[in-house]
Amino acid sequence: MTRHVEPHALKEEGIALAEIVAALRALRRSSQRSRYSNGVVPRLPSREAILEIVESLVGVLFPRHFGAPDVSEESVDGYLIYKLDAALRSLQEQVRLELDLFGEGGHATAAARQAKAEEVVRVFARSLPRLRAVLDTDIRAAFDGDPAARSIDEVVFCYPGVAAVIRHRLAHELYALGVRMLARIVSEIAHSQTGIDIHPGAQIGESFFIDHGTGVVIGETARIGKGVRIYQAVTLGAKRFEQDGAGALVKGQPRHPIVEDDVVIYAGATVLGRITIGRGSSIGGNVWLTHSVPPGSNITQAKACVETFGDGSGI
């Protein structure tokens, strides 16, 4: 049982709360001075607000599954307008906070950043029907690719791979629109919910299916074609990180695999570097792959070979 201790009681027990808070304040200010040269500490985007926005958008995309349970077919359009309006207004505020934080790309004034936030959200909102159409292909791929799936509704409700891909496609749209911190927050929300880590920069074609999913990692510059299926614990990662003359990492370079259409990558496979997995290839479980393979390849682990030599053979 947890004992509730009042602050004055803590002081009597030898814990000086004011001193601890003062020391934390000094450390916080020192860190902020190193990051914000103008002395102004900007307000940060809110992870809690972004989580609420994401869940609202998922409900807008799939209202029968994730919307309010009492919404009827007759009232659903009005409900979606209400939810979408609230979510987009909140998203606009979060976009502006990111722009305030970085102040890059010619958006130096508050008015310019506000206008840019409105533009980003307007373009993002118009992308939602297109995203829903692509997600329908992902959901169908999950249903067609798993003999245990009994219905499309079960796939939408229950499959962590589908949940991760829904959120990735939202995050990727934000990433493409330049609000990359918000996109990363969305992807990390999905990661914490599903155990699937997809960087929002990854480009993924339609009819994409992650089966089971736990432990999947897909890097920022990965490019995945249409009709690709991967299983749990697959990594599409970088082989090495280039450094500049000062020893700092060179960022933004293509460093993750290209996976062409109709590839299957089985559980535990690790595919590293800017290599190409040719169309229609199959990468077996637990394979470690750092070189390109042509279309139609079937890559499996090497098997141990045991040979017996006698009467001087093998010399």
- Distance of CA 203 to CAs 17, 153, 208, 279, 303, Å? 49, 26, 11, 16, 34
Is residue 191 located within the same domain as residue 53?
yes
Is residue 166 located within the same domain as residue 271?
no
What is the strand order of the sheet 282-283 is part of? 209-210, 229-230, 264-265, 282-283, 298-299
How confident is the model at residue 314, as a pLDDT? 42
CA pair distance 72, 143, nearest whole angstrom: 26
CB atoms within 10 A of CB 120: 22
Q: Based on the structure, what is the number of domains in the chain?
A: 2
Asked if residue 238 is part of any domain, the answer here is yes
**Residue 149 burial (C-beta neighbours within 10 Å; 0-12, 13-18, 19+):** middle
How confident is the model at residue 315, as a pLDDT? 47
How confident is the model at residue 77, as a pLDDT? 95
Are 122 and 177 contacting, i.e. CB atoms less than 8 angstroms apart?
Answer: no
Asked if residue 258 is part of any domain, the answer here is yes
Chunk the chain into consecutive blocks of 10 residues (it has 315) and report each block's average pLDDT, rounded to whole numbers. Answer: 57 77 94 81 94 98 93 92 98 96 70 95 98 98 97 98 98 98 98 98 98 97 98 94 73 92 98 97 97 97 64 50
Is residue 106 located within the same domain as residue 238?
no
CATH code at 284?
2.160.10.10
**Residue 308 burial (C-beta neighbours within 10 Å; 0-12, 13-18, 19+):** exposed
How confident is the model at residue 250, as a pLDDT? 75
How confident is the model at residue 245, as a pLDDT? 73
Asked if residue 31 is part of any domain, the answer here is no
Q: What share of the chain is helix, strand, coil (3-state, %, to 5)?
A: 45, 10, 45
Are 270 and 233 contacting, i.e. CB atoms less than 8 angstroms apart?
Answer: no
Is residue 65 located within the same domain as residue 177?
yes
Please choose, from the candidates 51, 85, 69, the residue with its C-alpha nearest in 3D space to the C-alpha of residue 189. 51
Asked if residue 175 is part of any domain, the answer here is yes
CATH code at 96?
1.10.3130.10
Is residue 175 located within the same domain as residue 304?
no
Counting DSSP H helices and E strands in the chain, the numbers are 9, 14
Is residue 56 located within the same domain as residue 153?
yes
Asked if residue 66 is part of any domain, the answer here is yes
Is residue 54 located within the same domain as residue 185?
yes
Q: Which domain holds residue 51?
A: 43-196
Is residue 144 located within the same domain as residue 221?
no
Asked if residue 269 is part of any domain, the answer here is yes
How confident is the model at residue 136, as a pLDDT? 98
Is residue 187 located within the same domain as residue 59?
yes
Is residue 177 located within the same domain as residue 66?
yes
Is residue 83 located within the same domain as residue 139?
yes
How confident is the model at residue 99, as a pLDDT? 94
DSSP state of 198: E
Asked if residue 6 is part of any domain, the answer here is no
How confident is the model at residue 149, as a pLDDT? 97
Asked if residue 286 is part of any domain, the answer here is yes
The pTM assigned to this predicted structure is 0.88
Q: Which of 134, 161, 196 is the last residue of a domain?
A: 196
**Residue 214 burial (C-beta neighbours within 10 Å; 0-12, 13-18, 19+):** middle
- Distance of CA 100 to CAs 31, 32, 117, 164, Å? 19, 15, 10, 29
Q: Which of 196, 229, 260 is the last residue of a domain?
A: 196
With a CB cutoff of 8 Å and minimum separation 6, the contacts of 254 are: 221, 274
Is residue 149 located within the same domain as residue 268?
no
